[in-house]
């Protein structure tokens, strides 16, 4: 995707709370690495639909926004657990609280691209790292 070259990935470093999951407000376009390693994505609460596409991946991209296993063929035994597996896509974004409660293996990365820069979506994303 050409859009991945427009936005360099940014790491969002949040401490682990004593109770509950981590929460982060997405309110701008870009590529955001929320977690590295295993975890559980709990919800995506989109409070403003806006424009563009919101995608969430199980994986951690390189400095250019590409995932190591992005071109893995579907016939490969590692395909279902690949680094760069899409786990959520909203195009266009839709208001609502989208419950996930699913695991990720490699990390959690969010892409918010396309549409008009000043009219993007707003979403609170909640996840819980495991094993740390």
Q: Tell me what the mean pLDDT of segment 49-74 comes to.
A: 92
Whether 115 maps to a domain, the answer reads yes
pLDDT at residue 99 greater than cutoff 90: yes
Whether 84 maps to a domain, the answer reads yes
pLDDT the model gives residue 114 = 81
Average pLDDT of the residues of the chain: 90
Whether 123 maps to a domain, the answer reads yes
Whether 64 maps to a domain, the answer reads yes
The structure's pTM equals 0.90
Strands (E), 1-132: 9-11, 22-26, 30-36, 39-48, 53-58, 85-90, 96-104, 107-113, 122-129
Q: How far apart are CA 122 and CA 48, in angstroms?
A: 5
Whether 81 maps to a domain, the answer reads yes
pLDDT the model gives residue 4 = 47
Whether 124 maps to a domain, the answer reads yes
pLDDT the model gives residue 121 = 85
Q: Tell me what the mean pLDDT of segment 86-90 comes to.
A: 94
Q: How far apart are CA 63 and CA 66, in angstroms?
A: 8
Provide the domain count of the chain: 1
pLDDT the model gives residue 132 = 65
pLDDT at residue 54 greater than cutoff 80: yes
Q: Tell me what the mean pLDDT of segment 32-46 comes to.
A: 97
Q: Residue 93: which of 125, 49, 31 has the closest Cα?
A: 49
Whether 18 maps to a domain, the answer reads no
Whether 29 maps to a domain, the answer reads yes
Query: What domain range is 105 assigned to?
Result: 3-13+23-129
């Amino acid at each position: 995707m050409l859009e991945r070259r427009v936005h360099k990935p940014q790491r969002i470093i949040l401490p682990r709370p004593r109770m509950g999951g981590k929460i982060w407000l997405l309110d701008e376009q870009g590529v955001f690495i929320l977690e590295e390693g295993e975890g559980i994505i709990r919800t995506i609460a989109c409070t403003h639909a806006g424009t563009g596409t919101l995608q969430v991946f199980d994986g951690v991209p390189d400095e250019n926004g590409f995932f190591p296993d992005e071109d893995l063929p579907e016939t490969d035994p590692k395909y279902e657990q690949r680094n760069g597996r899409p786990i959520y896509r909203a195009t266009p974004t839709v208001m609502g609280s989208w419950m996930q409660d699913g695991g990720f293996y490699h990390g959690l990365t969010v892409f918010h691209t396309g549409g008009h820069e000043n009219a993007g979506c707003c979403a609170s994303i909640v996840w819980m790292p495991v094993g740390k």
